[in-house]
Amino acid sequence: MKNKTVFDVNIWLSYFIKGKTEKILEMIKNNEVFFYRSAELMSELIDVINRPKFANYFPNGTNDYILFVERFSELLLTHAIFDLCTDPKDNYLFDLAYQSHSNFLVSGDKEVLAVPVKHSLKLLTLFAFKLAVGINE
């Protein structure tokens, strides 16, 4: 069974800054993790990854990282329904997770992780996610 997963932008960015994109590929291949993205997630990723404070991490530009997410995740057109986040800009993550029927929403944002969830969706830190799906790094 594939572990349907939504990574928050902060998780994607963490992997990119640490130069660990191969670990994401291993997750896909070895642990059958399947990633979802939405237009909102991509918009936030493009905005955040291109902020001046991250420029030193991406001296050759950010296009390859954007293309990486596009290549290794499935685009889902979502509808804005969820409205329980303290930061309304994060509601799209839950729309994406619920509408893709994801098992996991992985984030480093404490406010996102504190949102009450229903059904089988699990909100996890990256560390807890790796434990849950058996990833050793």
- Give 31-82 pLDDT, tens digit per residue: 679 999 999 999 999 999 999 999 999 999 999 999 999 999 999 999 999 9
10-32 as b/e, with b when 16 or more CB fall inside 10 Å?
bbbbebbeeeebeebeebeeeee
Tokens for 36, please give them.
């979802």
Radius of gyration of the chain, Cα coordinates, nearest whole angstrom: 14
pLDDT higher than 70, residue 1: no
Flag whether the pTM goes above 0.85: yes
Tokens for 86, please give them.
């303290």
Mean pLDDT of 13-23: 94
Distance of alpha carbon 114 from alpha carbon 22, whole angstroms: 30
Alpha helices in the chain (DSSP H): 9-17, 21-30, 39-49, 63-71, 91-99, 110-113, 126-133
Structural domains in the chain, CATH included, are 3-133 (3.40.50.1010)
